[in-house]
Structure 1
Amino acid sequence: MEGLSVADANLVVYLHPSKSRNVSQAILRELGSWLFKFSETFDGVLLAYDVNILDKKAQILSGVHPYFAVKLKANLLLFSPKPDMLIEGKVMKLCQESIHVIVLGFSSAIITAENIRGEFKYRNKDEEELFSSKSHKRHVIKVGTMIRFLVKSFDDEILHITGSLMPAHTGSIRWLDRNLEEFSETDRSATKSRDRESLGGKTVDGGATPLSYNNHIKKSKKRRIAE
């Protein structure tokens, strides 16, 4: 999925002297407070981290509150959706006017009717609301479906995404992946067929197929024996 990235960062964490007895725990708590929040420094939402303390000798900062600084090297997993990126999420609710999605378990997204391509038709079947494709009957979007959609905008304050299902390569992930596999298999079959046709033809590299070339050798040997 696009929008996910891993970054190496050199960080400095400032801790209160009261936390000096257990610096490691204090650092983890501090970094934990950054999780699932948008950071302008990282230009993304912090999802996970792996930390290595570089300098165990903390530097004391003078002032009214004498905090001390600890240098860290961290490996960060960030989520930073940008316009035109393809991301994935689970449909939580839908109606005729919109599809509501949850991304990575924490970020909400909405796809409104004007951003759903005309191929999809809203239906209420057996009291179950869904969008089904008029072109492909098995391409259905309903509550619980994992979908792939395009990012139109991202509100970093409330972690809300506005999405789109206008491109042809968006929709139910299960349906899209199955059809991509079918298309790949079709392409491979077509390639094999072309290869067989070329090998079974009348001209291969020297004006004869491997089979006719072998027959020619056998005939030549027979003529020599007869002579």
Structure 2
Amino acid sequence: MKRYRRNSRIGRTRKLIIGGVAIAIAGGAFAISTGVSSAGENCVGLDQALRQNLQFIAAQRSAPDALSDARIANRQAVVDLINQRRAVAGCTANVAVPGAAATTAPATKPPATRAPATKPPVTTAPAAPPAAGTGTGEVVCKGSTVTLSGEGGAPFASSGTFPLGTVLKVTNLDNNKSITVKVETTSGSCVLLNNAAFDQVREPGKFLIRRAVIERVK
């Protein structure tokens, strides 16, 4: 009888120990499972919060206003805090932000290279027009005066310097009148004009051209 009771007690003790161990194992398994599940939920929430804040910063940078800098600074502080909590929780997911291109600084255009300055073409002032009566032949008898030969007929010239048939152009610089005549007679001057030729270049009432240009045309 005593042996039976003792065996019965030992059996009950063994059952209690086995039951306790089973409960402990089950409880440990539940704790481990709950810990993993909790960590997963925390990472999902932290990742979502990080994504939302990064999206807000990207939107502010793509369409800034007067308060954008302050808003971005505040949200960046939140982002730093979330990243710290993610590190503690062991979150390793790479949080992708839609439209992340908006968060990057726009590519800066290379500075425009200016073409080397070209010097403006040197413009020379047009040459002064030649004095009246010049430009048609060689200037001869410089400084000579021109007067009348007293001969009549059509306009012609008389000269002791040029042979007969020479064509001369006489210009009166006082009135810019000129005449081209042929040497038809001989005289002792560089050139004399007959009455008809002299009348075309004279100044009224004057019988001498003091400022004359004489050119040999041919």
Greater percentage in helix: 2
Max Rg structure: 2
State the TM-score bracket (shorter-chain normalisation): under 0.3
Structure with the larger strand share: 1
> Which structure's relative contact order is higher, taking Cα pairs within 8 Å and 6+ residues apart?
2
TM (norm. structure 1) is: 0.17
TM-score by length of structure 2 reads 0.18
